[in-house]
Amino acid sequence: MTIRKLRIIEFLIIGLAMGVVEDLIAIKSATGVEIDFGVFWIAFLVAFPFAILSELVVDHPNFWKKTLRFLRIEIKEVEKKL
């Protein structure tokens, strides 16, 4: 299995599934409404962009290198502080 397929599986399982479950728990505990397809659909729509941002963008191997370079922070400086 390629790295790309593993990242997509990670996105689907961790990003979307866990995001939807987390949102459904929050909706149920905060409002007490019954979970039906409409509520599930709203939870999915809310979780989807955050899953993309967290799993496909921030977890990308080169994200921090490019971000730190864009901010003109040397990686060696960050490693020294850690």
Q: Does pTM surpass 0.85?
A: no
Q: What is the pLDDT of residue 12?
A: 77
Q: In total, how many domains does the chain have?
A: 1
What pLDDT digit, counting tens, does each position of 46-70 carry? 988 888 777 666 666 676 676 666 6
For residue 40, what are its two tokens? 């599930």
Containing structural domain, residue 47:
3-81
Contact between 52 and 19 under an 8 Å Cβ cutoff? The reply is no
- Of 66, 69, 12, give the one whose Cα is nearest residue 77: 69
Q: What is the pLDDT of residue 3?
A: 72
The more confident residue out of 31 and 54 is: 31
Q: What is the pLDDT of residue 14?
A: 78
Rounded CA gap, 64 and 79, in Å?
Answer: 12
Q: What is the pLDDT of residue 56?
A: 61
